[in-house]
Structure 1
Amino acid sequence: MDETILARRAVIVPLGDAAVLVRFADRLDDEANRLVLALVAALEADPAEGVVEIVPSLVSVLLRYDPERTDPIRLAGEIGLRPPGRARRGDRHRHLVSVRFDGPDLEEVAAALGLDAAGFIDRHNAAELRVLATGFAPGFVYCGFHPETLVLPRRRRVRPLVPAGSVLFAAGQTAIAATEIPTGWHVIGTTDFRNFDPRRDPPTQLAAGDAIRFEGR
């Protein structure tokens, strides 16, 4: 089953001498992220001349191209003329990730949302989320969106390092750290799941557009 994507004009800007950035918004929202996924799906099904790499982000898509086969004006024109896309749902991979909700910020997060820890966990795990993007650090994955009742800003202070497998929560999203990283997100738990292994090809298991559900206590 397909889900129709609302039309939104993209801003297309050159990056260096061999890439353009197709940006759908200046801040994260659901429509912009779905447009990213739709554009990626369209370009994978019908590649644009000269494009050698497609790198999706939360609200934008980086297109690297071969300067001998195309140029930024021609590429921007081709992207701009493409019709509004459709995000495919039926062929998405689905993942179930087990979490130990033992993070140091769990109680504080629950209280800030007017819940106890058990109530927060139940609501957190209730709905299937979408993998919005991967990146920032190897295997780092952004998952959303939680309902407005579960939206909380990031922490005011950054933790210098959290271990791989940390389950993070902020801004209506849950994230999973696959490597040791600094973070300003709330740490709500840990998981044995790792979304990065340099020995694999590809090195990550989750991809933007995949469906994900969390379980555990």
Structure 2
Amino acid sequence: MVQTLGDSTILVRFGSRLDENANRRAIGFAAALESDGIAGIVEIVPSLVSVLLRYDPLISRHQDIEGEIRLLLHGVPEERAGAAHRIGVRFGGEAGPDLEEVAGLLRLSPEEFVARHNALPLRVLATGFAPGFVYGGFHPEALTLPRRDTVRPLVPAGSVLFAAGQTAITATDIPTGWHVIGHTDFANFAPDAEPPTRLRAGDSISFEVA
């Protein structure tokens, strides 16, 4: 769905809920835009199932950009080939205060949970929400839990979070309702770097015990 937002923004949505297909199509479309480009577009912001485009109306008209978008959608690749990353995590204890509760809810020991959590690589579904924040998915259905009922007012950068079939990594100190299962020294946000994040949507991440 192509939706107009204001006088210089267009939202291209690939689904009404998060699933594998919608996420892959959003990543592929954003990559195709970055590669081929459309005159007048000045910012491309991919998210979990959509891509936000900001354009300069002094360069290109809305109807021209929307026409180019619809043409591009017919041949958009499913997803770009991403880089692979290995990320060491300290699970449990002070680093992951929710690990034992998460394992218990899934009827696993903490060791069994960590082994299953780390068994397969995850795709980077999107980065955002907060600077450098990473969404990784998807875990099998047997490793799916909802978010916590309460929100922690602050967790530190590098917190490894678990909920909704995903593992997330914080790159700044933020509040969260996700389960905190560990901590990593991997830093995904450097404001002075270009680009400022090391991980991109479509990359793969494998977790290991640090």
TM-score range, shorter chain: over 0.9
Q: Do structure 1's residue 86 and structure 2's residue 77 form an aligned pair?
A: yes
Counterparts of 1:4-43 in structure 2, within 5 Å, are 11-43=1-33
1:131 paired residue number: 124
Cα deviation code 1:55-101 (max 9, x no counterpart): 10001001111102223332222212331422355x42111000000
Counterparts of 1:183-198 in structure 2, within 5 Å, are 183-198=176-191
CA distance in 2, matches of 1:213, 1:72: 41
How many residues are aligned here?
A: 206
Structure 1: gaps of 5 or more residues: 1-10
Q: Do structure 1's residue 215 and structure 2's residue 208 form an aligned pair?
A: yes
CA distance in 2, matches of 1:87, 1:64: 22
Q: Do structure 1's residue 65 and structure 2's residue 58 form an aligned pair?
A: no
Task: Tell me the amino acid that sits aligned with residue 125 of structure 1.
Answer: N
Match of 1:182 among 161, 175, 183: 175
CA distance in 2, matches of 1:123, 1:76: 44
What's the Cα RMSD here?
Answer: 1.3
Select between 107-116 and 67-76 the one with higher mean Cα deviation: 67-76
Task: Tell me the amino acid that sits aligned with residue 66 of structure 1.
Answer: D
Task: Tell me the amino acid that sits aligned with residue 12 of structure 1.
Answer: V
* Residues 41, 87 of structure 1: 8 Å contact kept: no
Task: Tell me the amino acid that sits aligned with residue 173 of structure 2.
Answer: E
Counterparts of 1:152-171 in structure 2, within 5 Å, are 152-171=145-164
SS at match of 1:199: coil
Q: Do structure 1's residue 122 and structure 2's residue 115 form an aligned pair?
A: yes
2:38 paired residue number: 48
SS at match of 1:108: helix
Match of 1:109 among 102, 107, 118: 102
CA distance in 1, matches of 2:23, 2:109: 31
CA distance in 2, matches of 1:15, 1:88: 25
Task: Tell me the amino acid that sits aligned with residue 159 of structure 2.
Answer: S
Structure 2: gaps of 5 or more residues: none
Assess, with a 3 A threshold, how the Cα gap between structure 1 residues 75 and 184 changes in structure 2: closer, same or farther: same
SS at match of 1:126: coil
Match of 2:165 among 168, 172, 185: 172
Instruction: Quote how far apart the aligned CAs of 1:199 are.
Output: 2.5
**Taking every aligned residue pair, what percent have the same amino acid on both sides?**
63
CA distance in 1, matches of 2:128, 2:209: 25
SS at match of 1:87: coil
SS at match of 1:77: helix
CA distance in 2, matches of 1:112, 1:85: 40
With the length of structure 1 as denominator, give the TM-score of the two structures. 0.91
